[in-house]
C-alpha cells in the first residue's frame, strides 16, 4: 500500500496526520482498505511510507489486531508511486511469478479485488489495473483497452479522450515486474513503468468495474467518502457501528433538538449544541458545535470550536481552530489549525 504522499490537497488536515490516517467513518482511512484486503484473502501487507511514517506504526503496529501481518518500509525522500513499490520489494514474500496487489492509500473502492487477481492469473499478465469509468474523462489521463480487456495505451489528459476509463489506483503486479523497476530513484508507474510495459508488448490487463469508487484526495471527496461509508453506500468491514444517518463515537453528545444527518461522523467526545444542524460532515474528536450553528459538507478538526449561530458550508476547519459566533464560511474556505475567527464585528450604518 502506497501511503507516502504529503496529501497537500487536504491541507491543513494533513499537517498533523498523513491522508491515509485521517478519521474516516470513525476509523483511520487506511483501516477500510486494510479490512477489504483482509476480506479478499490478503494476509501480508507492506506499507510504503515516507511522510509522517512513525504515525503508521503507531496506528497499526504489526497488524495482528486486523488479522494481518504488516511490515513497513520508509523513503527518506519520496520515491513516487513506482519507486515506492520498488522500495517494498525486499519485504515481499512471494516467488517471481506470484501476484502482488498494490493499492494507492487514498482510494475507497467496492470492486472485487479477488476477481481482479483471478483475471491477472488467467491472462498470465505482467500487470492488471483496476479501471473505472468517469463522466468527465477529459480531466484525467485515460486507459483504453482492446480485445479481452488488454490495455493498449496510457494517454495523457486531453480534450475528447477516446475512452472514459481511468486508472483507479489498484494494481496486481507479477512479482518479477516489481523487481525490474529501477531502485533508488523516483519512478512514476503511470508515466514510466506502465507505458514502458506496453511499449515492450507485455500483457497489461484492465479489470473494469462499475462498483463504488472514490479518490478521497480533495476535501470535498474526503467528506463524501466518509459519509458514503456511514450511509452504507460502500460497505466497509471496518466501520465501527451500524450504517445510518450519523455515526456517534464514544461520548459524543447531541442536544435533543439538534439534527445530525447525511452520514455525519461525530468524533470521540465531540458536542453538538441546541438547535444545531450538522449534515454530511466529519467532526473530529473533541470538537464542539455551538447552539444554532449549521455545518454542512464540512470537516471540523480535532478540538475545534464552532460558535453559536455560525454557518459553515463546504469548508475545512483545522485542529483547535475557533470560529466565533455568527461567522459564515462558504465553499472551499480553509481555516488553519489554532486560528481564531472572532465574532463578526463589522457594522453598517443602518445597524445603528
**Least distance to ligand GTP from the beta carbon of 324, Å?**
30
Q: Any bridge partners for residue 282, and if so which? A: 265, 299
**Least distance to ligand GTP from the beta carbon of 254, Å?**
32
Out of 23, 26, 105, 219, point to the residue binding ligand GTP (CB under 6 A).
105
Report if residue 276 touches ligand GTP, rule: CB under 6 A.
no
**What is the CA 24 to chain-centroid distance, rounded?**
8
**Least distance to ligand GTP from the beta carbon of 14, Å?**
8
User: 68 or 79: whose CB is closer to ligand GTP?
Assistant: 79
Q: Could you tell me whether strands 127-133 and 165-174 are parallel, antiparallel, or unpaired per DSSP bridges? A: antiparallel
Tell me the backbone φ, ψ of residue 349, rounded to 5 degrees.
-55, -30
Report if residue 104 touches ligand GTP, rule: CB under 6 A.
yes
User: How crowded is the C-beta side of 183, counted as CA atoms within 13 Å?
Assistant: 7
User: 309 or 314: whose CB is closer to ligand GTP?
Assistant: 314
Annotated catalytic, 157? yes
Out of 68, 106, 263, 265, point to the residue binding ligand GTP (CB under 6 A).
106
**Contact region with ligand GTP (CB under 6 A), list: 71-79, 91-99, 232-240, 254-262:** 71-79
| Residues 302, 337: Cα–Cα separation, whole Å | 9
Determine the size of the site formed for ligand GTP (CB under 6 A): 21
| Residues 190, 341: Cα–Cα separation, whole Å | 42
Q: How many residues does the chain have?
A: 352
Report the site for ligand GTP in 16-45 (rule: CB under 6 A): 19
Out of 25, 32, 75, 249, point to the residue binding ligand GTP (CB under 6 A).
75
The three three-digit cell numbers of residue 272, written as one number: 453538538
Please, where are the H alpha helices in the chain? 13-16, 29-39, 53-60, 80-87, 113-122, 175-179, 194-199, 219-231
Backbone region of residue 130 per phi and psi (left: phi > 0; alpha: psi in -120 to 50; beta: other values): beta
Out of 22, 45, 48, 310, point to the residue binding ligand GTP (CB under 6 A).
48
Q: Which residue numbers are catalytic? A: 157
Q: List residues binding ligand GTP (CB under 6 A).
A: 2-9, 19, 48, 50, 75, 78-81, 84, 104-106, 217
Amino acid at each position: 500500500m502506497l501511503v507516502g504522499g504529503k496529501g497537500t490537497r487536504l491541507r491543513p488536515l494533513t499537517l498533523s496526520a498523513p491522508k491515509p490516517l485521517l478519521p474516516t467513518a470513525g476509523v483511520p482511512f487506511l483501516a477500510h482498505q486494510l479490512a477489504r484486503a483482509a476480506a479478499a484473502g490478503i494476509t501480508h501487507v507492506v506499507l510504503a511510507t515516507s511522510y509522517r511514517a512513525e504515525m503508521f506504526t503507531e496506528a497499526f503496529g504489526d497488524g495482528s489486531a486486523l488479522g494481518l501481518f504488516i511490515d513497513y518500509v520508509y523513503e527518506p525522500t519520496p520515491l513516487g508511486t513506482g519507486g515506492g513499490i520498488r522500495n517494498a520489494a525486499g519485504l515481499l514474500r512471494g516467488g517471481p511469478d506470484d501476484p502482488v496487489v498494490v493499492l494507492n492509500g487514498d482510494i475507497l473502492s467496492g470492486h472485487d479485488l479477488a476477481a481482479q487477481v483471478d483475471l491477472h492469473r488467467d491472462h498470465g499478465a505482467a500487470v492488471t489495473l483496476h479501471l473505472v469509468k468517469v463522466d468527465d474523462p477529459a480531466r484525467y489521463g485515460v486507459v483504453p483497452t482492446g480485445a479481452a480487456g488488454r490495455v493498449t495505451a496510457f494517454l495523457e489528459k486531453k480534450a475528447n479522450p477516446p475512452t472514459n476509463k481511468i486508472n483507479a489506483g489498484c494494481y496486481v503486479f507479477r512479482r518479477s515486474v516489481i523487481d525490474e523497476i529501477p531502485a533508488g530513484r523516483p519512478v512514476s508507474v503511470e508515466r514510466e513503468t506502465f507505458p514502458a510495459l506496453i511499449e515492450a508488448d507485455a500483457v497489461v490487463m484492465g479489470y473494469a468495474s462499475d462498483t463504488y469508487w472514490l479518490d478521497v484526495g480533495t476535501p470535498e471527496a474526503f467528506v463524501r467518502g466518509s459519509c458514503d461509508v456511514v450511509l452504507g453506500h460502500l460497505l466497509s468491514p471496518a466501520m465501527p457501528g451500524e450504517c445510518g444517518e450519523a455515526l456517534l463515537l464514544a461520548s459524543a453528545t447531541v442536544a435533543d433538538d439538534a439534527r445530525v444527518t447525511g452520514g455525519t461522523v461525530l468524533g470521540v467526545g465531540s458536542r453538538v449544541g441546541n438547535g444545531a444542524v450538522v449534515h454530511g460532515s466529519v467532526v473530529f474528536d473533541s470538537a464542539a458545535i455551538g447552539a444554532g450553528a449549521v455545518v454542512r459538507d464540512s470537516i471540523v478538526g480535532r478540538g475545534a470550536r464552532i460558535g453559536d449561530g455560525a454557518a459553515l458550508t463546504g469548508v475545512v476547519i483545522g485542529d483547535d481552530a475557533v470560529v466565533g459566533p455568527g461567522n459564515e464560511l462558504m465553499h472551499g474556505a480553509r481555516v488553519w489549525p489554532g486560528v481564531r475567527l472572532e465574532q463578526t464585528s463589522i457594522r453598517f450604518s443602518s445597524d445603528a
